[in-house]
């Protein structure tokens, strides 16, 4: 049994490494006014500036790499006062300890991966470097400074994957979907817990009034939300 398990894990890792080469994160920079992308190997986290402080969407794959990228932006990690996790996979949570002044938020449904009530991969759950965090429900709004963050539950990639709509304009999707040629598309099913559910969840974020931007974790961003979500109809065929 253990031999078969080892072979399965080995094959998965080989395939996963191949699929990760297809990921296209944005370079570290100010993407639009007061929104910054931070590139960490194959993934992006994003920072939203609010006065002299910052709000983070996700926390990347490698703490040291993120620390170096923040220096390029001249951003002090201690000025990050809130961290919203789209989900708890390892490539989205690495810099939690670096953001020592940040209050951590994640969806209520995602917590079951941290407690062991549900598995992420075979028998394994996920973990983060803090036991102190706040849980968000679907459609719940959190106000931090002058920034409004709305959580939109989009299960499928993980049971509690959550997108965040910031100031009714900027949509951060984590791994809920990909972008291909400016159109939304399914995320790689190899990494999903339930691709059918992930597809259903995508419908929730295709009719957001006022949304202008979509920021993904692995597939860049678009400043044309309306055009991007029109592609959803073709995915149903």
Domain ranges of the chain: 25-235
Output the pTM of the full model: 0.92
User: How far is it, in rounded angstroms, from Cα 167 to Cα 88?
Assistant: 24
Distances (CA, A) of 51 to 146, 147, 194: 8, 10, 39
Q: What is the pLDDT of residues 118-167, one digit of tens each?
A: 888 766 689 999 999 999 999 999 999 999 999 999 999 999 999 999 99
CATH topology (fold) of 25-235: Metallo-beta-lactamase; Chain A (3.60.15)
Q: What is the pLDDT of residues 6-16, one digit of tens each?
A: 543 444 445 55
Buried b (16+ CB within 10 A) or exposed e, 59-77: bbbbbebbeebbeeeebeb
How confident is the model over 100-115, as a mean pLDDT? 97
What pLDDT was estimated at residue 19? 59
Query: What residue ranges in 108-168 does DSSP mark as E strands?
Result: 134-136, 141-144, 147-153, 162-166
* Strand 35-40 to 29-32 pairing: antiparallel
User: How far is it, in rounded angstroms, from Cα 53 to Cα 77?
Assistant: 10
């Amino acid at each position: 049994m253990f031999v078969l398990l080892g072979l399965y894990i080995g094959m998965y890792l080989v395939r996963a490494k191949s699929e990760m080469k297809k990921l296209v994160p944005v370079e570290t920079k100010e993407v639009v006014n007061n929104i910054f992308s931070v590139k960490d190997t194959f993934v992006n986290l994003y920072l939203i500036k609010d006065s002299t402080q910052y709000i983070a969407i996700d926390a990347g794959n490698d703490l040291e790499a993120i620390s170096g990228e923040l220096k390029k932006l001249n951003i002090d990690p201690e000025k990050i006062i809130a961290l919203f996790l789209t989900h708890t996979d390892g490539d989205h949570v690495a810099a939690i300890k670096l953001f020592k002044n940040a209050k951590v938020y994640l969806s209520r449904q995602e917590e079951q991966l941290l407690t062991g009530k549900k598995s992420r991969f075979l028998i394994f759950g996920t973990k983060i470097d803090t036991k102190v965090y706040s849980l968000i429900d679907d459609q719940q709004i959190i106000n931090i400074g002058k920034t409004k963050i709305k959580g939109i539950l989009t299960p499928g990639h993980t049971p509690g994957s959550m997108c965040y709509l910031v100031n009714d304009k900027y949509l951060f999707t984590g791994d809920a979907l990909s972008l291909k040629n400016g159109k939304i598309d399914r995320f790689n099913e190899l990494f999903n817990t339930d691709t059918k559910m992930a597809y259903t969840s995508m419908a929730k974020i295709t009719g957001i009034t006022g949304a202008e931007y979509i920021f993904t974790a692995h597939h860049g961003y678009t400043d044309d939300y309306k055009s991007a979500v029109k592609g959803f109809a073709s995915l149903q065929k």
